[in-house]
Amino acid sequence: MPRQMVMFGCAALVAACVAAAPSLAAQQAPTTHTATTVEASTLDQYVGRYQFAPAAIMTISRDGEHLMAQLTGQPKVEIYPEGEHEFFLQVVDAQITFEVDDEGRTKALVLHQLGRDQRAARIEGEPVSPKEVTIAPEVFDRYVGQYQLAPTAIMTISREGTRFYEQLTEQGKFEIFASSEREYFLKVVDAQITFDVDSQMRTTSLVLHQGGREIRATRVQ
């Protein structure tokens, strides 16, 4: 995703449609929060890597008595405790809640920003990503066109050489990657696209899978 970042959250591509990748860029003055003191041992249990999407990882680290957060492609910023599991940023209006299990092990974090709650599971090792396959450009060309998600939301599917893209109305262009001939995924956000074809292999629509929802968009051009 284009990294227009200093905002910790995920900007929506369109309401009720694809959400863009998380960002730590400063966009507006944060709401007032009051910092408290948390034991160093508690901070240590949050240190690790959390995955929003294959190419959107939040790294939590310690710098002395300070807890830091850094999203892929963005600067490192300090986060401040306002509870044992709740933290906030001062550079932008965003908060982070750490989820722990019954044994006190941190299993995920939730980023609260712009009215959205985005969960990132804690990971060990390499980020989890769907397996990519190679699709011939002429095969993908049958999907190139425009698809209507909502009255004012059109998703444009395009190709540049051997690279494939989707772009929603008034949003940036995002590369998509094939996991099969008709199934594609984004790396900047946890979302997938499936193309529907008729008996003559003409593309009739696409389905956007994101956040447990499936949104169908009919081809209009």
Q: What pLDDT is recorded for position 15?
A: 29
Q: What pLDDT is recorded for position 27?
A: 54
Claim: this prediction has a pTM higher than 0.85: no
Neighbours of 161 (CB within 10 A): 6
Largest CA distance in the chain: 65
Question: pLDDT tens digits, the chain, 221 residues: what are they?
Answer: 333 333 333 333 332 334 455 666 555 555 689 999 999 999 999 999 999 988 889 999 999 999 999 998 889 999 999 999 999 999 889 999 999 999 989 999 999 998 889 899 999 988 777 899 999 999 999 999 999 999 999 999 999 999 999 999 988 899 999 999 999 999 888 889 999 999 999 999 999 998 778 999 999 98
Q: Indicate the class that CATH gives domain 10-123.
A: mainly beta
CATH topology for 137-219?
A: Lipocalin (2.40.128)
Range(s) for CATH 2.40.128.50 in the chain?
Answer: 10-123, 137-219
